[in-house]
């Protein structure tokens, strides 16, 4: 067995181990993991290893599931230690949004699960997120703006909850962000569906940011609005902004 094939088999084995644990303590999470495991059971390890987007997505889902199950099985003192050991932005994802997701009906799950298994590449917004990250890190290295800014992006948040990234800034108050290249006049239905999704998943605060990739300063504009929105958007409020 080659090393690459061994890695694929280890991921399949890890998935089955988490299913076994979740089946005892978190049935709905077990059901989601089983649905992902099913099409992988007969997939040759070599085929699986050739699908880099599948591997990255699967590793992320396994890590999120394992974190939750460790927390779920911990005693109260251990739970508090886990909370104290991670940043607020990670507490929000791991301890609020992720369990809300697997306890809710995800109408898009069959579609995006199939997309993951087929190794379809991420949308263009993934490149934009990397550019925003570089912009923030550059400012931080130069001791300029955004010194407290942090953000994470998650596959499940993107596919199920219309959230390209989660951000925090000075107030350390997580903000969920949806990015789109659509102009304002073409987004009425999209914004309505975005708000409905956020309400459904009990998202506390949200920003819908429409940008024009032809604008020379669109990364700077997005970064500014995401970081300022993380501090300024009130609780239970969903805001939309557009760059022409």
135 and 97 within one domain: no
In the predicted structure, residue 3 carries a pLDDT above the cut 70: no
131 and 106 within one domain: no
107 and 68 within one domain: yes
- For residue 216, what is the domain's CATH number? 3.40.1350
211 and 190 within one domain: yes
d(CA 98, CA 22): 14
- Proportion of the chain in helix, strand, coil states, percent, rounded to 5: 65, 10, 25
The parent domain of residue 78 ranges over 3-117
Mean pLDDT to the nearest integer, 53-66: 97
Q: What total number of domains does the chain contain?
A: 2
**84: helix, strand or coil:** helix
More confident residue, 186 or 37: 37
Share of the chain above pLDDT 90, in %: 86
Mean pLDDT to the nearest integer, 102-111: 98
103 and 159 within one domain: no
pLDDT of residue 46: 93
In the predicted structure, residue 232 carries a pLDDT above the cut 80: yes
91 and 141 within one domain: no
d(CA 29, CA 12): 16
pLDDT of residue 186: 81
- Taking each helix axis as running N to C, give the angle between helix 218-232 and helix 125-141, from 0 to 180 degrees, rounded to the nearest 10: 80
Chosen domain end from 69, 95, 117: 117
138 and 102 within one domain: no
112 and 129 within one domain: no
Chosen domain end from 93, 117, 141: 117
pLDDT of residue 122: 81
Strands (E), the chain: 150-152, 165-168, 175-180, 205-210, 237-242
Chosen domain end from 76, 94, 117: 117
Query: pLDDT confidence of 185, banded at 50, 70, 90?
Result: confident
130 and 78 within one domain: no
pLDDT of residue 1: 43
154 and 60 within one domain: no
DSSP secondary structure, 44-81, as one string? -HHHHHT-HHHHHHHHHHHHHHHHHHHHHHS-HHHHHH
**150: helix, strand or coil:** strand
What is the pTM for the complete model shown? 0.94
pLDDT of residue 6: 84
175 and 212 within one domain: yes
159 and 206 within one domain: yes
């Amino acid at each position: 067995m080659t090393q690459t094939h061994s890695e694929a088999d280890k991921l399949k084995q890890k998935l089955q181990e988490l299913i076994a644990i979740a089946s005892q303590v978190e049935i709905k999470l077990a059901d989601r993991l089983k649905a992902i495991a099913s099409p992988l059971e007969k997939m040759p390890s070599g085929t699986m290893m050739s699908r880099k987007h599948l591997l990255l997505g699967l590793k992320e889902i396994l890590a999120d599931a394992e974190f939750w199950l460790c927390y779920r099985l911990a005693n109260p003192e251990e739970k508090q230690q886990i909370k104290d050991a991670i940043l607020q932005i990670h507490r929000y994802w791991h301890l609020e949004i992720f369990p809300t997701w697997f306890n809710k009906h995800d109408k898009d799950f069959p579609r995006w699960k199939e997309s993951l298994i087929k190794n379809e590449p991420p949308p263009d917004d993934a490149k934009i997120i990397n550019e925003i990250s570089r912009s923030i890190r550059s400012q931080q290295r130069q001791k300029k703006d955004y010194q407290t800014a942090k953000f994470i992006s998650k596959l499940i948040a993107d596919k199920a909850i219309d959230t390209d990234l989660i951000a925090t800034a000075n107030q350390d108050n997580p903000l969920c962000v949806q990015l789109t290249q659509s102009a304002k006049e073409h987004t009425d239905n999209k914004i309505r569906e975005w708000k409905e999704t956020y309400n459904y998943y009990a998202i506390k605060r949200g920003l819908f940011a429409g940008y024009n990739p032809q604008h020379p300063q669109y990364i700077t504009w997005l970064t500014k609005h995401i970081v300022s929105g993380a501090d300024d958007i009130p609780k239970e409020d969903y805001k939309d902004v557009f760059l022409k």
